[in-house]
Structure 1
Amino acid sequence: MKYYIILTLLLGIIPKGNASSQRTNLDARTPGKCIAYTNLEDRVVFTCENNIKATLQLLGEGIVRMNFEELNDTLIRNTSFALTENALAKSQKINVSEQVQSYEIFTSKLIIRINKDPFQIRFFDKYQKLLLEDYEDKGFTLEGENIASRKTLRANEEFFGLGEKSGSINRRGKSFKMWNSDRPCYGVNEDPLYKSIPFFMSSYGYGIFFDNTYKSEFKMGSDSEEYYSFEAPGGQMTYYFIYGPTYKQILKGYIQLTGNPIMPPCWALGFSQSRGMLTNEKLTREIASQFRERKIPCDIIYQDIGWTQHLQDFEWKEENYDEPVQMLADLDEKGFKVIVSQDPVVSQDNKKQWKEADSLGYFTTDVRTGKSYDMPWPWGGNCGIVDFTKPEVANWWGNYQQKVIDDGVRGFWTDMGEPAWSNEEDTDRLFMQHYLGMHDEIHNVYGLTWDKVVTEEFEKRNPNTRIFQMTRAAYAGMQKYTFGWSGDSGNGNDVLSGWANLKQQIPVALSAGMGLIPFWTSDISGYCGDISDKEEMGELYARWMQFGIFNPLSRAHHEGNNAVEPWEFGPEVEQICKKAIELKYQLFPYIYTYAREAYETGLPIMRAVVLEYPDDKETYHLNNQFLFGKDIMVAPVVEKGASQVKIYLPEGEWIDFSNGTRLYQGKTWIEYPVEIETIPIFVKKGSIIPTMPVMQYIGEDPNYPLLLDVYPAAKNRKALLNVYEDDGISNDYKQDVYAERILECKTTEDAFEISHEIKNHNEFHWVKRNVLIRLHCQQKPKKLLLDTHKVKRFRLNKTGQIDFDKQDKAVWAWDEQKKQCLVMIPNTMEFSKLHVEK
């Protein structure tokens, strides 16, 4: 590992973040004329007249690494915090063709032209369509320590990404800063926030990942209509050009560089309950009992930071917990998993651990004194900041956190990892020295280095066990280690005025997804604000819940001792929320299938509509609705007292999920009527939606029947889906140990042909399930054949259902009201084709 060994000598005791006024004002330098190149096979180095060299590497047919630095730059820098270990090892041989005025490099997907005078890079696809070019000679500028890259901005170019940011999903015309910031009750357009993901995608079919950990800034046409730029006050100009041309392909290229997202344990995709003062055994047991008595599904109960005796000794607070180990065992019997918070600090009041870490040099230091940096903390008194960039810290921290895992805790919630109170205005933090550098370089990756330690140390001590870790502050590449939530949302001045904050969480979620945070949640109810009028709060809470159950990691949470359990807001709201949570559990097979897709491709489960319909200009600014997976459209109600919602439906035909007989034509806006219990949900015609019966927790019935809602496509077209299944708790999924149920429904003139195949990968022990097919069609079928055998017709019972326990053969029934053909196939029967004659 390379170390930042001469930085302190260069700066004395003045950190770079405070030294800008001391720099000599230098004119901005550009590379100027390219005077030579050297082909080192796996990279090409272009030497330019202004003492600047540009290095180009191919990391795939469509991924190009560009690096600029001064010729005499001998500073030893850190390797990338974001890239996978072998990302640069994929460097490919380059052939350079020199022309009179330029150099040309060809791949199977790209043509790269480098103009000689002045040095200018231009990227084309193989059809000579211009994708990206340097703006004039300013593809790289150096002014003192400030670096920048300007690119030509086309009149019709749109931008998406940059991670968990406020504002519209379309970044065109705005500027954004990367500086992980603790912003409680942040405004609807506030920037920066908690995470720094310096990666974006262009409507011209490419993505840019600017791998710089300093306080970088992205000006996406905010300064000029002619160019956009990305820049930083220090570090190297290293960026990656990622060719698509589709957004999906760009995302796949990004994870090739920064790593595949880890899959959460299956139970993490259930419902979670939390609150700021949920930090004692009695309250935890009471809440768990209420969920089960009221039959509201729930899998996780969080313990906020007050659960510890001291920050951060991982000891149960003695006055709050009588028998914590027994509590965990009792909750586990009822299907609850407990997640505890951890902060990246050790309180000075925690004398034993603080002295231990201080003597070992495990804290960040203050360059003014050479001693452990004295960090004021929101609670627990002043603290030492644990330096996770120091290799020896990992095992030490891993031993501490393992104590509660051995007790029965199932995972962690890593909070305050900016670290807290280290925002732009908190310039004293810039005097912090980390093992791998000064704080201005490490700040944005501090949370990432912590999350990396938490995950790797957990996996070392708990072999082949899937980690649950949810984090607030992070950098690019976080998806390899952790999941995310959007921090302290809501209106702190007036909780009842939090409607704008709820509305803004939708584009925040979608942008998080496009920044490779596919497993994400908002704090249902909004974290901020005292709730004094539960009845008045009921509508906002219900609407936040209806949005939140479509967050992959659904968590209700609020500050202090503000209780936000569903029953706190009256019987009507409780029933509305119960129904919403039950829907999440019913959709589990669908959600889990798309969780696997997120792991493989980087595609989020909650996805901006533009990812699936990139050529539809109406999708460029769709901030109030999203696709859930590929086939379900959700438009949460986010206006107080709303009686209708304006929704855009893209091309195709869309079926009202709550009324399977109501069909809408696509490429149009509709006005959809809503009541307080309404969640506008639509299914695209030509889809298969797998569900399961409602359970009180994921895994309550591991032999659950699989329910398949089939919405046939138009004539001569197919509905397709591969339903994914694995053990839900191990890391065997990384070795492709799983089963998939391959489903296809072809519509012909006279019939629906449903094919079914189970593929078992690497000897996964899959569950034989009862299957109920609900075929949504307009007319009662004439007859059904399962493979070659005629299926006997059966009458529905009084509740309109088929009783699986009383059937040992396939049967079918017709539901006239819902226009559904129901086919029950018991788990004792294997079948490959179902023929439904119209």
Structure 2
Amino acid sequence: MNPYKKWSLQNHIQKFLFIILLMFIFLPKAVHAQKQAMKVVDYHQDAPDEITLEINTGAALNLTFLDDQTIRFWMDPKGVLTRKNSSFAVITETFQLDYQVNVIEHTSQYEIFTSALRVVIEKQPMQVQIFDKYQRLLLGDAFPGYTLEADGVHSHKVLRSDEHFFGLGEKSGSLDRRGKRFTMWNSDQPCYSGSTDPLYKSIPFFMSSYGYGIFLDNTYKTTFDFGKTDSNRFTFGAPDGSFVYYFMYGPTYKNILFSYTRLTGKPILPPNWAFGWAQSRGMLTNETLTRKIAEEYRKRKIPCDIIYQDIGWVDGLQNFEWRKDRYQNARKMLSDLREDGYKIIVSQDPVVSKATISQWKHADSLGYFVKDDRTDASYNMPWPWGGNAGVVDFTNPKVADWWGDLQQQVLDDGVQGFWTDMGEPAWSNMESIDRLHMKHMAGMHDEIHNVYGATWDRVVTEQFKKHNPNRRVFQMTRAAYAGLQRYTFGWSGDSGNGSEVTDGWRNLQGQIPLGLSAGLGLIPFWTTDISGYCGEITDYEAFSELYIRWLQFGIFNPLSRAHHEGDNAVEPWLFGDKVEQFARKAIELKYTLHPYLYTMARQSYDFGVPIMRPLFLDYPSDETTYTINDSFMWGDNFLVAPVVKEGQQTRQVYLPKGRWYEYPFSEGIIYKGGQTIEIPVTLGTIPMFVKAGSIIPKMPVMPYIGAEPNAPLIFEVFPDTKEARFELYEDDGVSLGYQKEQYRRTTVRCTPKEGFMELTISPEELGNYRPSEPRNYWIRIHLDTKPSKVYLNDQRLSRKKLTVSDFEKPGAKSAYTYDKDTHELWVCIPDQQHTLQQLKIDY
């Protein structure tokens, strides 16, 4: 035989055997995939606004249209479309009354048109594609669109090469989630890094740069893969429970946030004093130390509103009784501090320690604790303080009044609110699998874990309202689920470097995108632990630079709290005279800008827009902003770029389009936007910029919010070539009147014209609130040209040097002055409340 033919035959045999081997490897998978491939066999319209697709596998996919741009998808592998528990997050699915859709059936697909969307449903294989009215694909199923396996339901979507994702609430890492994978499982992660996942809160809501948002309303351990596993698709899935998600079309990010707010509820508005400065530490748990800190703040003339008491204040977890060995007379302490403007916030944990014998036995006898499914006895939870404990089952309706009566004890003493700590519940993470044996009244722990903290916060707030009608609650939490904004505020947990506190720069840097992402998850009222929670402070001088930089970022957190673990004190004066001076200046800035901040807080309540916000939220067409994680917009008008690197002497800042005034405007520098600038920085520098065309409402520095009820209101004007406008929001700061139109809105406009400038202050609009004390308006306009004349309501004002007494005394005669060195025009006029006031400034 020809040897070449023999070799050829052997080669063919080897190829044949190789093909057979490949068939054994891949054919079962191919058959399985083909078996699982979904096709629509029929559909029916159950209501005017919804249709249900019947699938060959026995599954069903329901599409409910909340309005013309919001769709609920519900995939049920068994086709029954029922759920055990109603949503813990969603409060309404009625966006538009009597909404209805018409389904157009074609041979291979169905079409549904709304005024904003075109929804195409391919029959075989089943795939859903959503287009805008210009036929631009917004969201499309990959193949397969869904997988229904033993590990749960997963939805697979097409990932475009230029698509970016933002959100998922308080998650670490960069703002853009593309190329990353995340898990929702509330976890206590002390001293976490910029890549730690999961963390304390689970908010399965994200937005795409293609103009839509997705909220997966499933409380189990859900996962989100934004192209990490497959660069051509993104996937989200749940191991159990109802697979329900909402599609929300914007196309702007702010519109998407507004839809999410309608779906899950408006955030409660904090008391006005909550936006002041707060002091805390782990061992701040006694009367003597509390009084000493309060006295030091006032003596050193550093504004402060709030002092926290950590868990050691309580006699036993969690009986809400003061420790008698640490508090001589808690009621008198609270009364004395309230007279000096302080509000005291105490922590609470969601457990009853077995060491608190009588309370534990009482609660156990009533069935108020989570059960162990192996024994049906109360689950025995190891707790960091107080030994083993019973975990309170807040899904049991009978628990609410019992807990509410307990917490009211200290509210009656004079406490102003709570921070709910350790609600994961404590020291709980993905490795704590024994916790899955916990049985709540509403379900097993794998379903309730992520909403445990939220059910607790709901009870705390609803009971507060029941016992204290028409009074705003202060409640700040660590662990939560979507919808938390209806009950509580947030802080970012145990940040900082636990190995070496002075090496916490990366931890500080990570708090900026973390806080911005929290805001995108509808946590507008948020704080980091200023100084970082973790690490022993043994050398205050060595830690001082990191401390002041953390503080200079922290004052722009809507809620600003200095806090550290153990007995590590982080009061500003402990870090040396220079740092104390810089800290005072930064905290004073927060107080001066309180009217602006409070107005932005109302905006958060109305529309769900965060106060600390990523640049892309305001500049969505500028793709440069997608990668910026170290600076942010603060409300509508400010851009803040904190210094967060050790020893930094210059700071690069990207400024979006427009013109930007350096703030404070002391050097007269204005930058053109659309570029990255580099500015020098010192230890006292906070790089801040205000948009040209802004009007910023301000107030004088006070020792605490509300210390001077008739303080003047300052409007600082940064002119542009077109009209500047600001709508100031005011209310009484403490009641629920803000929900009932008991507020005041005052619109200020400044319009440049040929040869003169016009500024108007409108009478109050909407609402029926007005300040109880008379006050002055002070107008501060940055004006290069010295005015020749100034008129108020056509009456010419006199020019004179204005003094501090003119500034503070209500009823002063209207006048103006111009400082040629600073190029500032100051005008003093009384607040007429109901009367339109018009200034005309001739050049």
**Is residue 190 of structure 2 the alignment partner of residue 184 of structure 1?**
yes
| Structure 1 position 113, deviation (Å) | 1.1
Instruction: Give the root-mean-square deviation of aligned CA atoms.
Output: 1.6
Deviations 1:5-49 (CA, angstroms, capped at 9, x unpaired): xxxxxxxxxxxxxxxxxxxxx957756111111112232111011
Deviations 1:456-480 (CA, angstroms, capped at 9, x unpaired): 1100111011000000000101111
Deviations 1:57-95 (CA, angstroms, capped at 9, x unpaired): 011221100001134548751111001156589673222
- The amino acid across from 1:819 in the alignment is H
Q: Secondary structure at the match of 1:59?
A: strand
Q: Secondary structure at the match of 2:406?
A: helix
Structure 1 residues 804 and 300: alpha-carbon distance in aligned structure 2, compared to 1, 3 A threshold: closer
List gaps (5 residues or longer) in structure 1. 1-25
Kept in 2: contact 1:27–1:143 (CA 8 A): no
| Structure 1 position 749, deviation (Å) | 2.5
Q: Secondary structure at the match of 1:279?
A: coil
Aligned position for 1:747: 752
Aligned position for 1:445: 451
Aligned position for 1:14: none
Aligned mates of 2:361, 2:79 — CA distance in 1: 43
Q: How does 1:337-348 map to 2 (within 5 A)?
A: 337-348=343-354
Aligned residues: 808
Aligned position for 1:424: 430
Aligned position for 2:535: 529
Aligned position for 2:788: 782
Aligned position for 2:733: 728
Aligned position for 2:5: none
| Structure 1 position 160, deviation (Å) | 0.6
Aligned mates of 1:688, 1:67 — CA distance in 2: 46
| Structure 1 position 111, deviation (Å) | 1.2
**Is residue 647 of structure 2 the alignment partner of residue 641 of structure 1?**
yes
Residue identity over aligned pairs, in percent, reads: 54
Q: Secondary structure at the match of 1:207?
A: strand
List gaps (5 residues or longer) in structure 2. 1-30
Aligned position for 1:130: 137
Structure 1 residues 710 and 320: alpha-carbon distance in aligned structure 2, compared to 1, 3 A threshold: same
- The amino acid across from 1:375 in the alignment is M
**Is residue 259 of structure 2 the alignment partner of residue 259 of structure 1?**
no
Q: Secondary structure at the match of 1:517?
A: coil
Aligned mates of 2:381, 2:559 — CA distance in 1: 32
Out of 669, 676, 679, which is 2:676 matched to? 669
Deviations 1:207-264 (CA, angstroms, capped at 9, x unpaired): 0001111111110111112100101211121100000000000000001100011100
Aligned mates of 2:92, 2:530 — CA distance in 1: 37
Out of 108, 111, 125, which is 1:104 matched to? 111
Aligned position for 2:11: none
Aligned mates of 2:71, 2:192 — CA distance in 1: 36
Deviating above 3 A after TM superposition, structure 1's stretches of 4 or more consecutive aligned residues are 26-31, 71-76, 85-91, 765-768, 801-804, 827-831
Deviations 1:650-697 (CA, angstroms, capped at 9, x unpaired): 000001112351011100001110000000010110000100000000
Aligned position for 1:280: 286
| Structure 1 position 721, deviation (Å) | 0.7
**Is residue 72 of structure 2 the alignment partner of residue 68 of structure 1?**
no
Kept in 2: contact 1:804–1:826 (CA 8 A): no
Q: Secondary structure at the match of 1:561?
A: coil
Aligned mates of 2:601, 2:81 — CA distance in 1: 44
Aligned position for 1:59: 66
Aligned position for 1:685: 692
**Is residue 56 of structure 2 the alignment partner of residue 49 of structure 1?**
yes
Structure 1 residues 638 and 222: alpha-carbon distance in aligned structure 2, compared to 1, 3 A threshold: same
Q: Secondary structure at the match of 1:225?
A: coil
Aligned mates of 1:196, 1:416 — CA distance in 2: 15
| Structure 1 position 703, deviation (Å) | 1.4
**More displaced 10-residue stretch of structure 1: 494-503 or 809-818:** 809-818
Aligned mates of 1:93, 1:392 — CA distance in 2: 40
Out of 380, 395, 401, which is 2:386 matched to? 380
Aligned position for 1:765: 770
Aligned mates of 2:822, 2:182 — CA distance in 1: 49
| Structure 1 position 704, deviation (Å) | 1.3
Deviations 1:509-563 (CA, angstroms, capped at 9, x unpaired): 1000111000000000000000010111111111111000000000000000001
| Structure 1 position 120, deviation (Å) | 0.9
Q: How does 1:214-363 map to 2 (within 5 A)?
A: 214-363=220-369
Kept in 1: contact 2:792–2:839 (CA 8 A): yes
Out of 593, 602, 614, which is 1:596 matched to? 602
Aligned position for 2:820: 816
Aligned position for 2:13: none
Aligned position for 1:19: none
Aligned position for 2:166: 160
Q: How does 1:110-149 map to 2 (within 5 A)?
A: 110-136=117-143, 138-149=144-155
Q: Secondary structure at the match of 2:228?
A: coil
Structure 1 residues 317 and 85: alpha-carbon distance in aligned structure 2, compared to 1, 3 A threshold: farther
**More displaced 10-residue stretch of structure 1: 773-782 or 517-526:** 773-782
Aligned mates of 2:748, 2:737 — CA distance in 1: 24
Q: Secondary structure at the match of 1:509?
A: helix
| Structure 1 position 836, deviation (Å) | 1.1
Kept in 2: contact 1:607–1:626 (CA 8 A): yes
- The amino acid across from 1:700 in the alignment is A
Kept in 2: contact 1:340–1:413 (CA 8 A): yes
Kept in 2: contact 1:214–1:235 (CA 8 A): yes
- The amino acid across from 1:243 in the alignment is Y
Kept in 1: contact 2:355–2:387 (CA 8 A): yes
Kept in 2: contact 1:760–1:766 (CA 8 A): no
Structure 1 residues 650 and 335: alpha-carbon distance in aligned structure 2, compared to 1, 3 A threshold: same
Kept in 1: contact 2:92–2:262 (CA 8 A): no
Aligned mates of 2:788, 2:499 — CA distance in 1: 63
Aligned position for 2:16: none
**More displaced 10-residue stretch of structure 1: 41-50 or 397-406:** 41-50
Aligned position for 1:658: 664
| Structure 1 position 632, deviation (Å) | 0.5
Aligned mates of 1:87, 1:422 — CA distance in 2: 36
| Structure 1 position 832, deviation (Å) | 2.4
Return the TM-score normalized by structure 1.
0.95
Kept in 1: contact 2:782–2:823 (CA 8 A): yes
Aligned position for 1:415: 421
Aligned mates of 2:796, 2:151 — CA distance in 1: 77
**Is residue 713 of structure 2 the alignment partner of residue 709 of structure 1?**
no
